[in-house]
């Protein structure tokens, strides 16, 4: 139940070891880089340090990914692999070039053949259309008073072109629509040639030269074109099969090489955060304190010439640096860290409320949704969703814990699927003892609010802010004032007589209120503590806290209200099912109503109770001591990194995307 202590780690070593150091930091997965700009505020020193920019492994990764593209396969998901110290950029580049050289030649030839096949297909479409109109390609290509334009556009762009030609001297003749594209022949006047080309280029027109097409088709085009297209397709398929054979024969070694290159790309991304000064390289970042010994031992073994400099947070002379937060709790409590994160992570050094949230969350949820049957259904549903990966593991654990709490309170209430009396109540029956249930819910509220103020006192003690600890409205004076007001309210509601005159408690409360209002003055006079004058704003804050005492306490009435609401909804479902039992098919209708009704109770009311539980946590509990605003510790790792290969006709269209989670 703590925020893990973080250390600032700075590594200084020669270039020969920096890549090894970066690789170790990546593979250990416990290092978050820290930009040198934050560490070096002195501009004269900062100007002497150079940093790397480009990642040379990007190009190698693109080239190697093209092997899978050439074979028509998806690039494999890379995994981090052990890298020997001698596997550097030169060796990686040599291995990649030896692998992809032959395939790149095949890919270039295949791309050229695909381009030629498209030209032949265009010629076939045009000649077939001209034959239907008793025209020849040579006649159309050799015109004097008209400029022919032939090619294709996407269907949407072709419709836009049709609209544009209403005011332009361009005649369109659609020839064929296929695969989302429209092939057409356009005719325009020689004086509008440039304007027509600009219009077509704006719509991404793919055009073909009629003169080149006519000169390449001597003889009978109707017989020549199908044979040429068939030959090109066979050649393309042969080149693709050859690339697939190469990949299939060397798949294991290729995948390992790809993983190695990918690993080095991640490593070099970390190296880009380093700085170089007079032949020495600097790399800084955060590590958890409990990993220091293991990290130091690995570095001493693998990079003996690299110096390791450790700084405690309190010793760092830098300003403006936000230390990342890493929470480490017991397995069950760890699931409730996500509930805390929904509000905000604790800042570094702040108290981690995950344990208190785990206990109070189950208490609140079970109190409002106490039922043995419905709790069991909630556990089963959460387990099913978690198994099918519909729900995250942590959220599944939270819901299963809430379901277990519902079952415990169900036994205490004697409630099974909303029916009281099937099992004896071990503590209280909500419908038969509403006043007691209401009193207990108020008592829970007083206890939780008091706990929040005690946690705030602990935080003040850690910060050595004894003025707020003793005299603040959420410190010791505030706790005594709140509990005194709660005791007076309890006595007034129950009609119990106080063993002292009435003026005594009111005088005591007035003194406590005066102490709270004079917090800063008392801190300066009694504790010799410097304070920040807040003037009238602090008086307003005190009034706000007093009103919050009442509203926050009254808010816990919802515990009893939703416990009664749960029983009421369940009874309504039972009554409706009894009403239809005497109708034709009544037993079946009753079973359907019971199933649907209980499903609605578990789903809809369970969601409402979940939201109300979060509200009690965030507004009534957290508001007393918790500030949040922390930034999560995100070490460099392979999780979340990816590589994508874009489909295309050219090998240079392969691109990578990836990086560290930070």
Long-range pairs of 306-311 with CB within 8 A, sequence gap ≥ 24? 306/11, 306/12, 306/13, 306/14, 306/17, 306/18, 306/21, 307/11, 307/12, 307/13, 308/9, 308/10, 308/11, 309/9, 309/10, 309/11, 309/12, 310/7, 310/8, 310/9, 310/10, 311/7, 311/8, 311/10
The pLDDT of residue 220 is above 70: no
Average pLDDT, the chain: 83
DSSP calls for 166-228: GGSSEEEEEEEEETTEEEEEEEE-GGGHHHHHHHHHHTT-EEE-HHHHHHH--S-HHHHHHHH
Nearest-angstrom CA–CA distance, 385 and 60: 41
pLDDT, tens digit, 9 for 90 and up, residues 223-269: 778 888 888 888 888 877 777 777 777 788 888 888 888 878 777 77
Count of C-beta atoms within a 10 Å radius of residue 615: 14
pLDDT, tens digit, 9 for 90 and up, residues 579-601: 888 788 888 988 999 999 999 99
Q: For position 272, what pLDDT does the model report? A: 59
Q: For position 370, what pLDDT does the model report? A: 95
645: pLDDT confidence band, cut at 50, 70 and 90? very low
User: Which residue, chain included where needed, has tokens 């039922």?
Assistant: 371
Nearest-angstrom CA–CA distance, 450 and 252: 63
371: pLDDT confidence band, cut at 50, 70 and 90? very high
**What is the mean predicted confidence (pLDDT) over 61-65?**
83
- Percent of the chain clearing pLDDT 70 (strictly above): 88
- Residue ranges of domains in the chain: 111-237, 329-624
Contact indicator for 259, 79 with CB cutoff of 8 Å? yes
pLDDT, tens digit, 9 for 90 and up, residues 111-160: 888 888 888 888 888 888 888 888 877 777 777 788 898 999 999 999 99
Count of C-beta atoms within a 10 Å radius of residue 388: 8
The pLDDT of residue 644 is above 90: no
What end-to-end distance do the CA atoms of the chain give, in Å?
24
Query: Per residue, what are the HEC states of 395-434?
Result: HHHHHHHHHHHHHHHHHHHCEECCEECCCCCCCCCCCCCH
Give φ, ψ of 434 to 5 degrees.
Answer: -65, -40
- Residue 202, both tokens: 């704006």
Give φ, ψ of 530 to 5 degrees.
Answer: -70, 140
Whether domain 111-237 has CATH 3.30.70.2750: yes
Q: For position 317, what pLDDT does the model report? A: 52
Q: For position 653, what pLDDT does the model report? A: 38
CA gyration radius, the chain? 38
**What is the mean predicted confidence (pLDDT) over 181-199?**
89
- Residue 607, both tokens: 């969601």
Q: For position 1, what pLDDT does the model report? A: 53
Residues 6+ apart with CB under 8 A from 269: 55, 636, 659, 660
For residue 335, CA distances in Å to 339, 618, 625 come to 8, 17, 21
Q: For position 42, what pLDDT does the model report? A: 45
pLDDT, tens digit, 9 for 90 and up, residues 272-330: 556 666 667 888 889 999 899 998 998 898 889 999 888 887 555 555 678 899 999 98
Nearest-angstrom CA–CA distance, 506 and 244: 89
Highest mean pLDDT among 181-185, 406-410, 418-422: 406-410
Nearest-angstrom CA–CA distance, 646 and 656: 9
17-21, 587-591, 652-656: which range is least confident on average?
Answer: 652-656
Q: For position 2, what pLDDT does the model report? A: 79
The pLDDT of residue 365 is above 60: yes
27-41, 63-77, 98-112, 441-455: which range is least confident on average?
Answer: 27-41
46: pLDDT confidence band, cut at 50, 70 and 90? very low
335: pLDDT confidence band, cut at 50, 70 and 90? very high
Nearest-angstrom CA–CA distance, 261 and 271: 15
Q: For position 647, what pLDDT does the model report? A: 38
The pLDDT of residue 625 is above 50: yes
pLDDT, tens digit, 9 for 90 and up, residues 531-581: 665 555 778 888 888 888 999 999 999 999 999 999 899 989 988 888 888
**What is the mean predicted confidence (pLDDT) over 53-74?**
78
Q: For position 30, what pLDDT does the model report? A: 85
34-43, 88-97, 542-551, 638-647: which range is least confident on average?
Answer: 638-647
Higher-confidence position of 426 and 52: 426
- Residue 142, both tokens: 């050799």
535-554 core/surface letters (b: 16 or more CB in 10 A; e: else): eeebeeebeebbebbeebbe
Contact indicator for 76, 255 with CB cutoff of 8 Å? yes
- Residue 166, both tokens: 């209403």
Nearest-angstrom CA–CA distance, 422 and 371: 12
- Percent of the chain clearing pLDDT 90 (strictly above): 35
Q: What is the three-class DSSP state of 326?
A: coil
């Amino acid at each position: 139940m703590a925020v893990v202590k973080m250390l600032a780690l700075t590594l200084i070593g020669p270039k020969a070891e920096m890549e090894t150091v970066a690789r170790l930091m990546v593979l250990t997965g416990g290092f978050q880089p820290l930009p040198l700009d934050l560490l070096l505020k002195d501009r004269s020193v900062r100007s002497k340090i150079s940093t790397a920019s480009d990642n040379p492994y990007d190009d190698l990764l693109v080239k190697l990914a093209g092997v899978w593209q050439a074979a028509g396969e998806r690039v494999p998901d890379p995994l981090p692999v052990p890298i020997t110290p001698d596997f550097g950029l030169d060796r990686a580049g040599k291995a990649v070039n030896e692998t992809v050289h032959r395939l790149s030649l095949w890919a270039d030839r295949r791309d050229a053949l695909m381009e030629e096949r498209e030209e032949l297909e265009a010629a076939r479409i045009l000649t077939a259309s001209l034959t239907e109109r008793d025209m020849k390609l040579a006649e159309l290509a050799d015109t004097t008073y008209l400029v022919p334009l032939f090619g294709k556009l996407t269907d949407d762009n072709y419709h836009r072109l049709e609209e544009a030609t209403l005011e332009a001297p361009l005649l369109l003749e659609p020839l064929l629509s296929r695969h989302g594209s429209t092939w057409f022949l356009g005719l325009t006047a020689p004086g509008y040639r440039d304007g027509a080309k600009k219009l077509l280029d704006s719509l991404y027109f793919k055009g073909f030269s009629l003169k080149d097409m006519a000169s390449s088709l001597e003889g009978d085009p109707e017989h020549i074109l199908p044979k040429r297209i068939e030959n090109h397709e066979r050649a393309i398929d042969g080149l693709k099969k050859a690339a697939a054979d190469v990949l299939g024969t060397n798949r294991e070694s290729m995948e390992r090489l790809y993983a190695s290159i990918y690993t080095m790309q991640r490593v070099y991304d970390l190296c880009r955060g380093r700085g170089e000064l007079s032949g020495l390289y600097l790399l800084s970042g955060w590590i958890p304190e409990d990993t220091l010994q293991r990290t130091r031992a690995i570095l001493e073994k693998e990079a003996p010439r690299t110096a390791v400099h450790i700084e405690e947070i309190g010793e760092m002379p830098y300003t403006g640096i936000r230390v990342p937060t890493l929470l480490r709790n017991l397995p069950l409590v760890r699931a409730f860290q996500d509930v805390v994160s929904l509000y905000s992570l604790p800042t570094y050094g702040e108290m981690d409320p995950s344990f208190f949230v785990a206990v109070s969350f189950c208490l609140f949820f079970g109190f409002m949704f106490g039922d043995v049957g419905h709790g069991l259904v909630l556990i089963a549903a959460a387990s099913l969703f978690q198994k099918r990966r519909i729900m995250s593991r942590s959220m599944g654990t939270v819901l299963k814990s809430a379901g277990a709490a519902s079952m415990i309170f169900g036994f205490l209430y004697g409630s099974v699927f909303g029916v009281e009396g099937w099992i004896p109540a071990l503590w209280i029956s909500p419908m038969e003892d509403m006043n007691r249930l209401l009193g207990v819910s108020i008592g829970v509220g007083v206890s939780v609010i008091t706990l929040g103020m005690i946690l705030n006192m602990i935080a003040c003690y850690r910060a050595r802010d004894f003025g707020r600890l003793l005299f603040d409205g959420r410190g010791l004076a505030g706790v005594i004032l709140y509990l005194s007001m709660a005791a007076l309210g309890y006595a007034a509601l129950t009609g119990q007589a106080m063993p002292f005159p009435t003026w005594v408690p009111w005088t005591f409360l007035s003194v406590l209120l005066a102490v709270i209002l004079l917090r800063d003055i008392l801190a300066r006079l009694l504790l010799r503590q410097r304070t920040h004058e807040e003037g009238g704003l602090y008086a307003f804050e005190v009034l706000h806290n007093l009103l919050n005492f009442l509203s926050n306490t009254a808010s816990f009435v919802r515990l009893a209200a939703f416990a009664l609401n749960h029983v009421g909804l369940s009874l309504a479902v039972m009554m409706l099912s009894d009403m239809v039992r005497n109708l034709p098919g009544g037993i079946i209708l009753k079973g359907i109503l019971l199933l649907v009704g209980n499903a609605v109770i578990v789903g809809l009311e369970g969601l409402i109770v979940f939201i109300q539980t979060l509200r009690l946590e965030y507004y009534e509990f957290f508001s007393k001591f918790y500030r949040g605003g922390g930034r999560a510790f995100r070490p460099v790792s392979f999780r979340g990194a990816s590589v994508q290969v874009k489909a295309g006709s050219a090998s240079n269209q392969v691109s990578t995307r990836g990086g560290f989670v930070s």
